A and B are shown apart, each in its own frame.
Chain A
């Protein structure tokens, strides 16, 4: 388990350049704790501050590498976690990426062009499939979620993005500037890669 200081520095690897409020949204700490952690991390040289936004430094990354070894040794040795990650990478993660691409581009006469979102049925089918993958992911990541409560928070935030997408807020599938399904999915992916000490397979 990470203490609030470690968790806050770790959160800056999931979202580069964030305010205390934005980081608290990701890591679920009270905002006062995040602010205190940031202040300490800046003093230690692990984090840089720029006009209310924060960024991790190379020293901060080295600090985390040591923290992970200590905090997640048990989790990394758990074969159920390894199986869950293998299943995640080859199954639901690939499905989400493919569905996101289907969401952004449609096929017109054999060529892929950007989706103008004029076909509500097409969009609804993709969001529906994303919903099913989301439900499946909750099962797949169960072994991690049992040892790291933040995993469930990511899944809840993905669920919230799905609801907004279902309501016609099309930015909430793959938009970069909002907490879209894809944005939060990638934060979660980065989080569990760091937890388990694995490399991103591409």
Chain B
């Protein structure tokens, strides 16, 4: 049903269309076309091309004929869904997104629910029987439009209703959201074009030497709603389990739920079996689509979907979030399934994830009888034992000690680098101590309360930053070893044949540079300078990814460490980025 012929500024990326040029339609519209050509149902869409963007800058406004073609494009969406743009019955709302062939930060992001006004809100309320939902759609749209099209810089997201958002926009920019949906659409398309030459977009392109005249396409896509009736709902599906990586679809479904409901956690969704019971055919179609997307993406996918009056729409598919354990399982499994070569599987697991898995834990049962000295918020996981010091200078002079502070500031960073763990009296999971410790992969417990410094200084303690407890004395720990875990063992084998760097406990070749032997005043915030001609490095700093990069850049041939895989993965990632 492609009626795209005869259109000068639009492309309709449906299954009947030939593969569109990414340069013309942008990456997002290309993906929509790809999903349609696989036979998957996505909400109908059309694209205003980068050629129209070039004409916009040449003419100083939307090119001639585009306004008419926008009407044609919207009519296509209306026809497919049986809805009307700006209609007072079954209204059609759309999203408007930028999209270039290559990623260009600084451009306008998405406007959702465009086409809304007071009448449309009333129509949506009548259709869904949910006035709050309709009001929320209108409020959110007004905020998107105010910020992205009208350039309002006030915080609009937290305002309670459309009236207060309108008032904030009016007082900030002296302008108002038009009630005419067609005017909204034209202005949104122009705003996307203009954003491709925003100050930040220009600065980004200048830094990376990307030409300024690439411009952007604009994708206009119908919104679908999961809360219209009992035969509607919304959900998310992981093609593989995100916690342990096992090859079992896993997901949630919320009948009469809409978009943010599932993601925000405002409502508790049901497991996917709920959908299976209500709509076995839709459930089967979803699982089939998930399988195709997993294959097509060659990775575990996180698929967002909406069922609108019994019809399944796929909204988005992207590589799924996963735990470190799941990342390892999925990478190895994809090799066994014949989807990935071992070399490519190594790019699916990061050095940081392996460090996480190899982190020691307090031995089972050992904490049961131990004395808990203080507790706080676990901010950066891990376990460490050492003597408590209370100044960054003392931490630097006594490597491996536990730095305990009221709170930390930039003054403390060099001490935090030297410390085995960091504990603070004040602050939460977003405090300076928490952020810096996570960046350093140092165990950290924050917010342990007043007098923590005074009560701990000088004592030997064990910090369990996974549970947020600090124990008296030294507690035994247990650690995973790469060789004891089949998946890690295989990854290590693949990794060691993918880099010439030699990594292990006994690989040293002279001359050796040992960072742990440096004097306290030589350890700053930067990686220590590696003397020219060094063949081997050792020390904790060279086991972390930035240290590995520095070692490779200095021509080092071997890294001494007990845990091989994180260093190997960091080396391979660096080779990949520099080759």
Interface residues of A (CB under 8 A from B): 13-18, 50-51, 53, 55, 94, 97-98, 100-101, 104-109, 111, 113-114, 116-122, 124-125, 127-128, 131-132, 135-136, 139, 159, 162-164, 166-167, 171, 174-177, 182-183, 186-187, 190, 200, 202
How distant is the Cα of A136 from the Cα of B106 in the complex, in angstroms? 15
Tell me the minimal C-beta distance from A134 to chain B in angstroms: 9
Q: Cβ of B73: which chain A residues have Cβ within 8 Å of it?
A: none
Is the CB–CB distance between A104 and B438 below 8 Å? yes
Is the CB–CB distance between A202 and B546 below 8 Å? no
Is the CB–CB distance between A118 and B319 below 8 Å? yes
Q: Cβ of B352: which chain A residues have Cβ within 8 Å of it?
A: 114, 116
- Beyond A166-B204, A177-B526, whether A15 also contacts B410 by CB under 8 A is yes
How distant is the Cα of A140 from the Cα of B15 in the complex, in angstroms? 50
- Beyond A100-B430, A202-B426, whether A163 also contacts B204 by CB under 8 A is yes
Tell me the minimal C-beta distance from B398 to chain A in angstroms: 17
| Partner among B326, B356, B414 whose Cβ is within 8 Å of the Cβ of A17 | B414
Q: Please tell me the number of chain B residues within 8 Å of chain A, measured between CB atoms.
A: 54
Is the CB–CB distance between A15 and B431 below 8 Å? no
Closest-by-CB residue of B relative to A171 is B546
List the one stretch of B487-495, B517-525, B553-561 in contact with chain A: B517-525
| Partner among B326, B392, B527 whose Cβ is within 8 Å of the Cβ of A16 | B392
How distant is the Cα of A102 from the Cα of B399 in the complex, in angstroms? 30
Closest-by-CB residue of B relative to A106 is B321
**Interface on chain B toward A: helix, strand, loop, or mixed SS?**
helix
- Beyond A116-B350, A176-B413, whether A97 also contacts B430 by CB under 8 A is yes
Which of B356, B410, B427 has the largest number of chain A CB atoms within 10 A? B410
Is the CB–CB distance between A187 and B207 below 8 Å? no
How distant is the Cα of A13 from the Cα of B153 in the complex, in angstroms? 33
Q: Cβ of A166: which chain B residues have Cβ within 8 Å of it?
A: 105-106, 204
Tell me the minimal C-beta distance from A42 to chain B in angstroms: 14
Is the CB–CB distance between B243 and A97 below 8 Å? no
The reply to whether the CB of B75 lies closer than 8 angstroms to some CB of chain A is: no
- Beyond A128-B105, A176-B525, A202-B427, whether A108 also contacts B242 by CB under 8 A is yes
The reply to whether the CB of B322 lies closer than 8 angstroms to some CB of chain A is: yes
How distant is the Cα of A114 from the Cα of B504 in the complex, in angstroms? 25
Is the CB–CB distance between A119 and B105 below 8 Å? no
- Beyond A51-B522, A167-B204, A176-B440, whether A100 also contacts B410 by CB under 8 A is no
Tell me the minimal C-beta distance from A96 to chain B in angstroms: 9
How distant is the Cα of A14 from the Cα of B411 in the complex, in angstroms? 7
Is the CB–CB distance between A174 and B438 below 8 Å? yes
Some 13 contacts from A to B, beta carbons below 8 A apart, are A16-B410, A50-B521, A100-B435, A105-B438, A108-B243, A108-B326, A131-B105, A163-B207, A166-B106, A166-B204, A167-B204, A190-B409, A190-B410
Q: Cβ of A135: which chain B residues have Cβ within 8 Å of it?
A: 153
Closest-by-CB residue of A relative to B302 is A119
The reply to whether the CB of B176 lies closer than 8 angstroms to some CB of chain A is: no
Tell me the minimal C-beta distance from A21 to chain B in angstroms: 11
How distant is the Cα of A55 from the Cα of B109 in the complex, in angstroms? 45
Tell me the minimal C-beta distance from A123 to chain B in angstroms: 10
Q: Cβ of A175: which chain B residues have Cβ within 8 Å of it?
A: 439, 546
Q: Cβ of B324: which chain A residues have Cβ within 8 Å of it?
A: 113-114, 116
Tell me the minimal C-beta distance from B238 to chain A in angstroms: 9
The reply to whether the CB of B579 lies closer than 8 angstroms to some CB of chain A is: no
Tell me the minimal C-beta distance from B349 to chain A in angstroms: 8
- Beyond A114-B438, A117-B350, whether A159 also contacts B430 by CB under 8 A is no
Is the CB–CB distance between A109 and B436 below 8 Å? no
Q: Cβ of B326: which chain A residues have Cβ within 8 Å of it?
A: 108
Q: Cβ of A50: which chain B residues have Cβ within 8 Å of it?
A: 521-522
Is the CB–CB distance between A121 and B318 below 8 Å? yes
Q: Cβ of A108: which chain B residues have Cβ within 8 Å of it?
A: 242-243, 321-323, 326
| Partner among B327, B440, B525 whose Cβ is within 8 Å of the Cβ of A15 | B525
How distant is the Cα of A149 from the Cα of B318 in the complex, in angstroms? 44
Is the CB–CB distance between B410 and A174 below 8 Å? no
Is the CB–CB distance between B350 and A127 below 8 Å? no
Is the CB–CB distance between B407 and A200 below 8 Å? yes
| Partner among A18, A51, A98, A167 whose Cβ is within 8 Å of the Cβ of B430 | A98
Q: Cβ of A128: which chain B residues have Cβ within 8 Å of it?
A: 105, 109
The reply to whether the CB of B289 lies closer than 8 angstroms to some CB of chain A is: no
Is the CB–CB distance between A109 and B242 below 8 Å? yes
1/0 per residue B347-360: CB within 8 Å of A?
01010110010000
How distant is the Cα of A200 from the Cα of B524 in the complex, in angstroms? 24
The reply to whether the CB of B335 lies closer than 8 angstroms to some CB of chain A is: no
The reply to whether the CB of B103 lies closer than 8 angstroms to some CB of chain A is: yes
